[in-house]
């Protein structure tokens, strides 16, 4: 596996792949890789001859008071895992490679504006987050120019934003969403799970149990979506979660669904101790 942190050597290796007519699959990450990331890599390997992974803890997508400083950085271990999986190229750009013109203080840079999708759910509680994600992903797409890029469905809203980004800005890349990878007890895998203390870790699975319960309620005919959100939200709060949102939404628009809709996604974000957890569940009532 080659590891590069500058754009010219990245482009050199990529052009060697392309000159041999090989397809390139790309998995952008912020590192601290877990089985969910490795599943993205496995699926990437099925879609292209060469897999490129990036690790960059993007400062701009963290809000004030969020965990940018403490975000786990485990580059050596990550590189070993990727090497063992047979990944071709690991791109680990520095802040100045990613944002050469930007002073982190003055925010003097260009941004991709996302619009409506970035104003709801995680976007409402993390203003600017999806614009920062869309910007860094655009830059990474321009650097790597992959044929296909893979993202986890745990970050459902992010995946939708990226689908819109690619469509709106005509990036010639196929976007593949990969289903959520879960721990044995159902907790969705996330780099932030390691902020959970032992007792919190046990309780954290309540999120998944509630999603399953809501899914069952919907499948057995419950159509009072707001009532269902309310009672599930109360249950989470009783287990000491601080609820950000728990909503039954239209999976395309992320607006709250009304009782006539059949294609739904239940989206939840809640904090337990220092960990902000998100999860979701697609429900098709047809």
Residues that bind ligand PAF (CB under 6 A): 28-30, 58, 61, 133, 136-137, 155, 158
CB-nearer residue toward ligand PAF: 140 or 265 = 140
CB-nearer residue toward ligand PAF: 61 or 280 = 61
CB-nearer residue toward ligand PAF: 128 or 233 = 128
∠ CA 94-98-104, nearest 5°, is: 90
- Residues 1 and 20 sit within 8 Å (Cβ to Cβ): no
Shortest distance, position 191 Cβ to ligand PAF, whole Å: 8
Cα 165 to chain centroid distance, Å, stands at 14
Shortest distance, position 136 Cβ to ligand PAF, whole Å: 5
Which of the following is catalytic: 34, 37, 129, 259?
A: 37
103, 210, 254 from 234: Cα distances, Å: 43, 11, 22
Catalytic status, residue 129: no
Question: Residue 270: enclosing H or E segment and its boundaries?
Answer: strand 263-272
CB-nearer residue toward ligand PAF: 181 or 225 = 181
Shortest distance, position 153 Cβ to ligand PAF, whole Å: 11
Shortest distance, position 224 Cβ to ligand PAF, whole Å: 33
∠ CA 183-177-149, nearest 5°, is: 115
Q: Would you state the torsion angle of the CA atoms of residues 135, 136, 142, 144, taken in this order, to the nearest 10 degrees?
A: -160
CB-nearer residue toward ligand PAF: 140 or 236 = 140
CB-nearer residue toward ligand PAF: 34 or 209 = 34
Long-range contacts of 137-140 (CB under 8 A, 24+ apart): 137/28, 137/162, 137/165, 138/112, 138/165, 138/169, 138/171, 139/98, 140/26, 140/28, 140/54, 140/56
Q: Quick one: DSSP state of residue 185?
A: T
How crowded is residue 179: how many other Cβ atoms within 10 Å of its Cβ? Answer: 12
Distance CA 136, CA 58 (A): 7
Shortest distance, position 24 Cβ to ligand PAF, whole Å: 17
DSSP symbols for 118-175 = GSSTHHHHSTTHHHHHHHHHHHHHHHH--SEEEEETTSHHHHHHHHHHHHHTT---EE
Q: Are strands 263-272 and 242-249 parallel, antiparallel or unpaired?
A: antiparallel
Shortest distance, position 3 Cβ to ligand PAF, whole Å: 17
Catalytic residues: 37
């Amino acid at each position: 596996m080659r590891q590069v942190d500058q754009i010219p050597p990245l482009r050199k290796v990529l052009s060697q792949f392309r000159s041999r007519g090989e397809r390139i699959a790309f998995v952008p990450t912020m590192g601290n890789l877990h089985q969910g990331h490795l599943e993205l890599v496995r699926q990437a390997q099925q879609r292209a001859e060469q897999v490129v992974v990036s690790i960059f803890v993007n400062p701009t997508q963290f809000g004030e008071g969020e965990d940018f400083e403490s975000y786990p950085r485990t580059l050596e271990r990550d590189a070993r895992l990727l090497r063992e999986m047979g990944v071709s190229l690991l791109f680990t750009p520095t802040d100045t490679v990613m944002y050469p013109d930007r002073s982190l203080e003055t925010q003097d840079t260009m941004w991709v504006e996302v619009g409506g999708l970035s104003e709801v759910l995680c976007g409402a509680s993390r203003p600017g987050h999806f614009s920062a994600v869309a910007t860094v992903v655009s830059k990474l797409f321009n650097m790597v120019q992959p044929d296909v890029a893979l993202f986890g469905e745990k970050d459902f809203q992010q995946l939708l934003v990226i689908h819109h980004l690619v469509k709106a800005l005509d990036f010639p890349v196929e976007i593949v969403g990969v289903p959520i990878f879960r721990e044995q007890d159902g907790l969705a895998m996330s780099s932030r799970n390691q902020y959970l203390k032992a007792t919190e870790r046990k309780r954290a699975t309540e999120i998944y149990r509630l999603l399953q319960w809501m899914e069952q309620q919907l499948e057995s005919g419950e159509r009072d979506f707001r009532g269902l959100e309310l009672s599930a939200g109360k249950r989470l709060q009783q287990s000491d979660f601080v609820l950000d949102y728990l909503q039954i939404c239209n999976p395309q628009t992320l607006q709250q669904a009304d009782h006539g809709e059949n294609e739904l996604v239940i989206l939840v974000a809640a904090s337990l101790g220092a960990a902000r957890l998100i999860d979701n569940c697609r429900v098709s009532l047809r």
